Chains A and B, each alone.
Chain A
Amino acid sequence: METLEQIKKRIEAAVPGAKIDIVNNGSPSAQHSLKIDNEHARDVARFLRDDPALRFDFCSNVTGVDWLDRVIKKTVKTKQVVDGVEKDVDLTSEEKIPGYLEAVYHLFSIAHKHGPVIIRMQTGRANAQLSSLTPIWRSAELQEREIFDLYGIKFEGHPDLRRILMWDEFEDFPMRKDYRPPDDFEWEPTPHDDVLERAKQHYPARPTETELKPS
């Protein structure tokens, strides 16, 4: 299989205007991915599927990821002149990354038996919208519905975008990292941390000694 750089170059040649970034993966798995832009996503996907050398005809896994607002602290050592003396000073810069939602597609080729190539698309957390790749790979149909249900990304061009796992009246997006489940902690005999905090709200105002004693 070609390297990601080669694939990136060929996509950029085949799909004019497409913005492709390689996202490096530091873990030993070394599965790097391609970040593609929203407007050209379907063209890029079609190229990946139909190009005779690549033929990624099998889209295995489609998933959403929620990234909250993050602050990345970078510490750089610089030399500064303080009171006429040169000193090593740690400069801490904070980079604020606004939260975003991501859809990740794992592609394999059954024709050439290679893979995976991972493509990812990003969108903001409010009004999340991406273009659906279901017209390219049918296997994305249910999985994109699942992302819509659990993360709230609207897939433009999806044939049947409804809630799939939760009921239709449900309003939240439970897999988002800032989701809090409803309160049903009346009976929690073994609570910890967060559960303990939430179970405490059900305790009577005046604590009694007898409850804690083993029966």
Chain B
Amino acid sequence: MSATSSQELEQAPPRMSSRLEGELMEVSLGPQHPSTHGVFRMNVALEGEIVRKLKPVFGYLHRNHEQIGESAGYLQAMPYTDRLDYFCSMTNNWAYALSVEKLAGIEVPERAEYLRIILAELTRLQNHTSLLGFLLSDMGAWGTPLMYAFREREKILDLFESLSGARMMCDYMRFGGCRVDANDDWIAGAKKIVDLFPKFLDEFEDLILQNEIVIARTQHVGKLSPELAISAGITGPMLRASGVNYDIRKIDKYGFYPRFKFRVPLGDHGDTYDRLMMRALEMRESLSILQQAFAQIQPGPVMNPKVKIRAFKPPVGEAYGRIEAPKGELGFYLISDGSANPYRYRVRPPSFINLTILEDMCLGHTVADVMVILGSIDIVMGEVDR
């Protein structure tokens, strides 16, 4: 980073006063708005149709996740993590289990690690498919892509349900392994769905990626420079769309990811189209990881027998564990004072921090583009507000 660019970054971001200024018209988008992906609100100042200022307003789904995590025990916080990013309960479980395993120094059996990878990649598939559906929905392709996306998502949810007992709130992982083992039928069923998935993906890409309207609405919209992306803490597909090669699966080498061959897709322009493409490409890599995992997985135990479920008390200390969730870096920061519940329980939510530069990306674009840019960030309010 050169000296000039770092000075630029140190300038304060633009502010918005609470009153009407000059020619600008202030509009409040949300919290009840069909394309804000939940109860998100933006105060936008418009000059004609062009966005001149934009301030996101949070907190409409702030449900005290961190305080509940501190008052409940370590195990009790696990079902609450399901409800953070409610599309991806499996990766939330994994991030939390990983942090507690770091905090207490717990080993995880081999089969459990494979199951975790399988479930995390399935989660990535269903998250990215539904994201593309929602994004197209925001652009005006009302219904159709979302219906196709949800048709495939239901198949993956069926897998989750038959393994963990719930469609969305799986509560599947435990410290030191997984709650129940997957039988051979389940693995065979999952393999069948993964085998058929590329066919759907081809069709879905035909449907959207070359569509002239999609291209016109997304290319050169909401550009994000790599320097700003790094400084603003952007992670996940959004960072890689700006061309920064940073995938925690490769960097931290958590789980058994070093045993898998996969590529990290990178974007060139950092615009909305790149972010959209990034999801499509990542799904291909996830499919390749899944196929390798089905070939490699061996029978064995899925729980570390030394770990107690009740009265679990990790040693005094702290740990920060993070994984590459579908939306970016999901981290849990835990401080233990030796008692049965964490002294400090902090979630590092990727989509909350990815919203930091929403204003920078939207300035100068039209109101209609704001929805597309917001959709490409891939936010889930349960995680943004916690």
Q: Do chains A and B touch in the complex (CB under 8 A)?
A: yes
Nearest CB of A to B249, in Å: 13
Residues of B within 8 A of A167 (CB): 59
Nearest CB of B to A151, in Å: 11
Nearest CB of A to B128, in Å: 22
Closest B residue, CB atoms, query A50: B6
Query: Is residue A16 contacting chain B, with contact meaning CB distance below 8 A?
Result: no
Decide: B356 and A113 in contact? CB cutoff 8 A: no
Residues of B within 8 A of A58 (CB): 230, 233, 246
Query: Is residue B177 contacting chain A, with contact meaning CB distance below 8 A?
Result: no
How long is the Cα–Cα vector from A121 to B315 in the complex, in angstroms? Answer: 23
Q: Name A132-177 residues within 8 Å CB distance of B.
A: 135-143, 159-160, 163-167, 174-175
Decide: A110 and B353 in contact? CB cutoff 8 A: no
Residues of B within 8 A of A124 (CB): none
| A137-B331 contact in complex given A27-B314, A165-B59, A174-B67, C-beta closer than 8 Å | no
In the complex, identify which listed stretch (A59-67, A90-98, A182-190) lies at the interface while the others stay far away: A59-67
Residues of B within 8 A of A60 (CB): 233, 235, 322, 329, 331, 348
How long is the Cα–Cα vector from A141 to B11 in the complex, in angstroms? Answer: 12
Residues of B within 8 A of A104 (CB): 333
- Provide the B42-76 mask, 1 if CB < 8 A to any CB of A, else 0: 00000000000000001100101011000000000
Interface class of chain B by DSSP: mixed
Nearest CB of A to B76, in Å: 13
| A110-B346 contact in complex given A31-B319, A60-B329, C-beta closer than 8 Å | no
Nearest CB of A to B139, in Å: 27
Interface residue range, chain A: 35 or more
| A28-B315 contact in complex given A139-B232, A164-B58, A174-B67, C-beta closer than 8 Å | yes
Closest A residue, CB atoms, query B227: A57
Decide: B59 and A63 in contact? CB cutoff 8 A: no
Residues of B within 8 A of A164 (CB): 58-59
Query: Is residue A210 contacting chain B, with contact meaning CB distance below 8 A?
Result: no
Nearest CB of B to A194, in Å: 9
Decide: A138 and B231 in contact? CB cutoff 8 A: yes
Query: Is residue B212 contacting chain A, with contact meaning CB distance below 8 A?
Result: no
Nearest CB of B to A121, in Å: 15
Query: Is residue A118 contacting chain B, with contact meaning CB distance below 8 A?
Result: yes
Decide: A61 and B346 in contact? CB cutoff 8 A: yes
Query: Is residue A207 contacting chain B, with contact meaning CB distance below 8 A?
Result: no
Residues of B within 8 A of A49 (CB): 6
Residues of B within 8 A of A57 (CB): 1, 230-231
Q: Within the complex, which residue of A65, A118, A165 is in contact with B344, where a contact is CB–CB below 8 Å? A: A65
Closest 6 CB pairs of A and B: A27-B317, A139-B233, A28-B105, A29-B319, A159-B12, A165-B59
Q: Could you write out 8 A-B pairs with CB less than 8 Å apart?
A: A27-B318, A49-B6, A60-B322, A60-B348, A61-B331, A110-B244, A138-B356, A139-B353
Interface residues of B (CB under 8 A from A): 1, 6, 9-10, 12-13, 15, 58-59, 62, 64, 66-67, 102-105, 228, 230-235, 244, 246, 251, 314-322, 329, 331, 333, 335-336, 343-344, 346, 348, 352-353, 355-357, 385
Q: Known pairs A29-B317, A60-B348, A143-B353. 8 more at Cβ < 8 A?
A: A27-B319, A28-B105, A65-B335, A110-B230, A110-B244, A138-B357, A160-B15, A164-B58
